Amino acid sequence: MKNLKLKAARAGKDLSQDELAKLCNVSRQTISAIEKGDYNPTINLCIAICKVLDRTLDDLFWEE
């Protein structure tokens, strides 16, 4: 399932996939795969992404 909430939050901070990846110490391909729903990130990566984007785990990763 695509993670459109992550993509929207990243765009809202005016960050490219590459910029977010660098801030989270992962590759751009990892961020792309998460947004496409092709990769399930670790909890530590989820937390790192949330800190960079000023969002909660529920905001970005909870499926409704």
Class level of CATH domain 4-57: mainly alpha
Domain borders along the chain are 4-57
User: What is residue 13's three-state secondary structure?
Assistant: coil
- pTM, 2 dp: 0.93
Find how far residue 6's CA is from the centre of its chain. Answer: 5
pLDDT digits (tens, 9 = 90+) for 1-55: 899 999 999 999 999 999 999 999 999 999 999 999 999 999 999 999 999 999 9
Tokens of 48: 């790192």
pLDDT for 64: 73
Band (59; pLDDT cuts 50, 70, 90): very high
